Structure 1
Amino acid sequence: MLNRIKIDPNICEGKPTIRNIRITVDFVLKLLGDGYTADEIVKIYPELEKEDIYQAAKYGAWLASEKTIAIP
């Protein structure tokens, strides 16, 4: 279940966020892609919890499995 991922058109232009705290899922995924661990991310952003990071990754995986996007 992805109960920590919220989408509100009035927050961050409707991008998926973590618990409506104005940290977007794509930002967390970029940090993971840059090699940061969940422990490092929650240390830098103490308002996040490890479960937030895991759910962001699950959400990204779900999106990737649902949509095909051509990469030029």
Structure 2
Amino acid sequence: MAAVDGACQVLIDSGVRSGADLAAARALGASAAMIGRPYLYGLMAGGEQGVERAIEVLGAEYTRTLQLLGARTTDELTA
């Protein structure tokens, strides 16, 4: 984030396996994160329903991580 100094959005595209990873990326300033493997694991395990479930799990983990950090919203996350 320091390298771009707010000149563009930053996306993380590697290593995201859990909602906690998503929270860490957002806390460090990423605008969004790609979720390739969780998506593909869900797809392989259960097709469209598997993908939906994988996204539900990531969302639940993200929410739990925010709660554990004492943050009520994403905007409250900081490095």
Whether the TM-score (by the shorter chain) exceeds 0.5 is: no
| Largest Rg, 1 or 2 | 2
More helix by share: 2
